Amino acid sequence: MSNTYYLATNDWLNISFRLCIALLIGAIIGLERQIRRKPAGLRTHMLVSLGSALFTLIIMQTGGLQSSPDALSRVIQGIATGIGFLGAGEIVRQSSQESQQLEIHGLTSAAAIWVSSALGIAAGCGLWQLGLISAMLTFLVLNVFKRFEKHPKKSE
């Protein structure tokens, strides 16, 4: 039984496959966001997924898991924290000067960025089936369940 949580530095085929799967998974989510004309679209989601896979692969290639078994967990925690800042920037925007209040927008886009990051981690760990299934489920949630949301009517 091979250790899927360690990659030799010369295993370019496996490394390339994992990074390309991360890009594909990010593209699935990003394309949906791009079609809906959201600020975080195709390229953003692809880069978030790729970056998450890359951080994951770094720890797997350097042998950090052998010297410190919880290294992957710490990397994932760091990615989640970093993505939290990216998501917060997507959510909170200053409103118009008339109301002087903060408006909350982009919760779904921030959640999609968060999921893209997790999908990249899955791809980086070699769990491409989990990543692809989760990407398709995310795409389904973003498209199908949008119809069930009720939005308050804007006063004119």
Dihedral sign, Cα of residue 43, residue 44, residue 47, residue 48? negative
Per-residue model confidence as pLDDT tens digits over 74-112: 889 999 999 988 888 777 764 455 666 666 778 888 999
Environment class of 44 (CB within 10 Å of its CB; exposed 0-12, middle 13-18, buried 19+) = buried
Per-residue model confidence as pLDDT tens digits over 116-131: 999 999 999 999 999 9
> What is the domain partition of the chain in residue ranges?
12-146
* Mean pLDDT of the 7-24 span: 90
Helices 128-144 and 12-35 pack at an angle, to 10 degrees, of 0
pTM: 0.81
What average pLDDT does the chain have?
A: 84
Using a pLDDT cut of 70, give the percent of the chain over it. 81
Q: Which residue has the tokens 């989601």?
A: 45
Give CA–CA dist 51/39, Å, rounded: 19
CB crowding 60-91: b at 16 or more within 10 Å, else e: bbeebbeeeeebbeebbeebeeebeeebeebb
Are 108 and 142 spatial neighbours (Cβ–Cβ below 8 Å)? Answer: yes
Q: How far is CA 141 from CA 67, 75, 86, 99, in A?
A: 40, 27, 21, 33
The H or E element that residue 50 is part of is helix 42-61
pLDDT band for position 1 (50/70/90)?
very low
pLDDT of the residue at 133 = 96
Give CA–CA dist 124/111, Å, rounded: 20
pLDDT of the residue at 6 = 65
pLDDT band for position 43 (50/70/90)?
very high
Per-residue model confidence as pLDDT tens digits over 47-65: 999 999 999 998 888 776 6
Are 100 and 33 spatial neighbours (Cβ–Cβ below 8 Å)? Answer: no
